[in-house]
Amino acid sequence: MPITRWNTDLSVGVEKLDTDHQQLIATMNTVFDALLQGNSASTARKALLTLQEYVNDHFLREEKWMLKNAYVELDRHKQEHDALRQHVARLLELPQHSDDQLAVEMLVVLRDWLLGHIARSDRAAAH
Ligand SMILES: [Fe+2]
Ligand SMILES: [Fe+2]
């Protein structure tokens, strides 16, 4: 069961960034599924590490793209990225056998935050 889906409302009009966002959402769904299965903490952790890697790669790619385009709000945008990076790091800090419900709740917050970031901040930068 996907936690969310990419849709055209999230398009920033730059193909490589849209592809990144689609991949991010797919990775988030993988984490969600792993957490819901609940019987394999290491599967969930592996999925989370993949998400962290992808988040970091994407943010760096996006920041580079913004720098190249001399985006004036880059510093503020980077702060949002940092907050999102910290949220992912906090998810990874949860003890392996902690309550999965907490991890699911944190993932839902991350989803809402990330979708809001794409819909508002990424779109503002690209349009
Ligand atoms: Fe983005
Ligand atoms: Fe961004």
Say if residues 91 and 110 touch (Cβ distance below 8 Å).
yes
Rounded to the nearest angstrom, the distance between the alpha carbon of 4 and the centre of ligand 1 is 16
CA of 78 relative to ligand 2 center, distance in Å: 7
Query: How many angstroms is it from 61 CA to the middle of ligand 2?
Result: 10
Ligand 2: distance of its center to the CA of 38 in Å? 31
Domain residue ranges of the chain, discontinuous segments joined by +: 14-126
CATH architecture of the domain 14-126 equals: Up-down Bundle (1.20)
Distance from Cα 11 to the centre of ligand 2, integer Å: 12
**pLDDT of 26:** 94
Which residue is listed with tokens 């993949």? 50
Q: What's residue 39's pLDDT?
A: 62
Tokens, residue 78: 């980077």
The whole-number pLDDT of residue 2 equals: 84
81 within 8 A of 63, measured Cβ to Cβ: yes
Distance between Cα 34 and ligand 2 center (Å): 25
Pair of tokens at residue 7: 């849709």
Alpha carbon of 105 to ligand 2 centroid (Å): 22
Per-residue pLDDT of the chain (127 residues; tens, 9 = 90+): 788 999 999 999 999 999 999 999 999 999 998 888 866 667 888 889 999 999 999 999 999 999 999 999 999 999 999 999 999 999 999 876 666 788 888 999 999 999 999 999 999 998 7
Proximal ligand: closest to the CA of 73: 2
- Picking from 50, 58, 37, the residue whose alpha carbon sits closest to that of residue 104 is 37
